[in-house]
Structure 1
Amino acid sequence: MKALFSTDGLNPSQSFRRWRETLVGRGVPLEQARLDDGPFAAKLEAAGVGPLLLLTRVSHGAMRSEATRGLIQRNGKDGTVVVQRAKAHVESRLGDPTLDAPQLPAAVGVSLRRLQELFHARGQHISDWIWQRRLEVAAKRLVDPGSAHLPIGTLAFGCGFASQARFSRRFKERYGSTPREYRHAAFESIP
């Protein structure tokens, strides 16, 4: 099983929001609401069959999920396929600091306006999603023991950030701590 997403290591105040963003980003048409005020934990796992990853396990804390007619219509097959192709294109070029929203339409065969509409229907902006993915990859690398030897600037550049200062600012906005503090806290908790 491969973990596609986990709230482990996330700021508890942001874990539910990040969980919803992840599901929306994967084309899951569900309205979700918390059922308690306790810490929220969730995990999305998959197993591979050849080159395909198949969703096999979803576990989460107390919440209500509902597939509404509007969400199902907004996430119709046509739009989902285009958005997934755009996201796959981004994933394959995440480390390229020149990657931006205007490049995507040509890669997936739609106009920029149409692609923006499809992302907006999922409650996202294209550029915000690109930055979100870069930050998520950077956060994983910061706590990965195999990347502990990498300077933070090198890690930032490898995730597509053009400057360490911009990376640090965006990271702190997203995770509530600097990359250095985040890394230190992760390795400090290892026995």
Structure 2
Amino acid sequence: MSSPLDSALPQRLSSLDAEPALRFDAWRERAHQWVEMLPLPPGAELNAELITLKGSNCVLGAMRSSAYSMRAASRRLIHAPEMLVLTLIQAGEVLRDAAPGEPERMGQGSLGLYDPWRMGDYRWSQDSREVFLALPRTEVAAALGREPGNLLITSRQSVLAPVLASHLEHVALLMQRPGVLNAAEYAGLLDATHELTLLMLRNLGRQPLDADAHPESLNAGRYTAAMRLMERDAHLHQLDAATIAQSIGCSRTRLYAAFAAQGESVMETLREIRLQRARTLIEQAARLHIGSLSWRCGFTDQSSFSKLFKARFHSSPSEWHHRVWGRQPDESPAPRASSLRLR
């Protein structure tokens, strides 16, 4: 008997699964059920792949493709669920007919929210890649505080836009690596992406976060946003709870509450990220100056870093290096004017 979590595993679809003569029609029917694909230019070949992760109220996907065009089609949308699509362009570009004679160009790194009913024509460039999240229109409208439409989202409009974009990039990588997560972990990843997206939309709409939202949902979104920010900026010495809270658009009190809901502390979690990064760097470098290492990992004091490292891993940085590289902790490398050494 299959587990209910089986549906949380990514599903992969490739245009190459079909015979060349059937490839276009098969891809149109299986991969684009809400829109109409336009015929390819003479001689053009379709090469596309779609990976989806489906939940009870959203669909997460990553797609790459050769060049092709599509447009909204009422005959398809009439039976489609009332969903809006948030998408991040990872590579290539997309041209959208925002108005007659005025195409809107979306290049690498563009984050946008789109309504399939208002989509118009989309033209994807060769070797384009995107990651997207389709979620209910009612949820988007509630988060924004207004009826949603098509819009590009920048860091000026929402301080959480870069955090969400970074998260989506990582999600796309995980979806493309079969077996890296189990079904329960993929389900958790989908939930975290859903909550982080709603948090970004609330920030975009500048609505009171506590009005109609569940505290658990808000905490999950804030926690995910903070974790992504800390993983990205752990090397910054000035990074602290106040900076993190400001960057994800909440107060320190709400940030602390989000971590407390996970049984964690903000600064202890940041310290763990930094120590794990230091351990990785030690294992990767045949020779590495401990002072430089601690600085690169966000620690301003070498002595404090060494003590924290030993308390966490039960070995000093030099002892850990010896485990990996086989050099005695008190050994010095052969004298070289330009060499860096552990000390």
User: 1:106-155, CA deviations, whole angstroms, 9 ceiling, x for partnerless residues?
Assistant: 111111111101101101000000000000000011111xx223211111
Which residue of structure 2 lines up, in the alignment, with residue 80 of structure 1? 220
Which residue of structure 1 lines up, in the alignment, with residue 174 of structure 2? 54
Shift of 1:76: 4.0
2:288 is paired with a residue whose SS is coil
Whose relative contact order is higher, 1 or 2, with alpha carbons under 8 Å and at least 6 apart?
1
Which residue of structure 2 lines up, in the alignment, with residue 183 of structure 1? 321
Q: 1:75 to 1:178 in 2, by over 3 A?
A: farther
* 1:75–1:122 Cα contact (<8 Å) kept: no
* Aligned CA-pair RMSD: 2.5
1:92 to 232, 241, 245: 232
2:174 is paired with a residue whose SS is strand
User: 1:46-77, CA deviations, whole angstroms, 9 ceiling, x for partnerless residues?
Assistant: xx975323364248xxxxxxx9xxxxxx9944
Structure 1 length normalisation: TM-score? 0.60
2:173 is paired with a residue whose SS is strand
Report the AA paired with residue 91 of structure 1: E
Measured in 2, the distance between the counterparts of 1:95 and 1:125 equals 18
Q: 1:75 to 1:185 in 2, by over 3 A?
A: farther
Which residue of structure 2 lines up, in the alignment, with residue 108 of structure 1? 248
Measured in 1, the distance between the counterparts of 2:260 and 2:270 equals 14
Identify unmatched segments of 5+ residues in structure 2. Answer: 1-61, 64-89, 91-168, 183-187, 189-213, 328-343
Which residue of structure 1 lines up, in the alignment, with residue 311 of structure 2? 173
Shift of 1:181: 0.2
* 2:245–2:251 Cα contact (<8 Å) kept: yes
Which residue of structure 2 lines up, in the alignment, with residue 151 of structure 1? 289
Q: Percent sequence identity over matched residues?
A: 28
* 1:142–1:183 Cα contact (<8 Å) kept: yes
Q: 1:109 to 1:172 in 2, by over 3 A?
A: same
Count of aligned residue pairs for this structure pair? 127
1:180 is paired with a residue whose SS is helix
* 2:174–2:180 Cα contact (<8 Å) kept: no
Report the AA paired with residue 236 of structure 2: D
Report the AA paired with residue 78 of structure 1: L
Measured in 1, the distance between the counterparts of 2:215 and 2:320 equals 35
2:282 is paired with a residue whose SS is helix
Q: 1:178 to 1:77 in 2, by over 3 A?
A: same
User: 1:78-98, CA deviations, whole angstroms, 9 ceiling, x for partnerless residues?
Assistant: 322211111111122111112
Shift of 1:163: 1.1
2:261 to 121, 128, 142: 121
Q: 1:79 to 1:102 in 2, by over 3 A?
A: same
Measured in 1, the distance between the counterparts of 2:181 and 2:225 equals 23
Identify unmatched segments of 5+ residues in structure 1. Answer: 1-47, 60-66, 68-73
Measured in 1, the distance between the counterparts of 2:307 and 2:230 equals 22
* 2:310–2:317 Cα contact (<8 Å) kept: yes
* 2:219–2:257 Cα contact (<8 Å) kept: no
Structure 2 length normalisation: TM-score? 0.34
Q: 1:128 to 1:154 in 2, by over 3 A?
A: same
Q: 1:150 to 1:75 in 2, by over 3 A?
A: farther
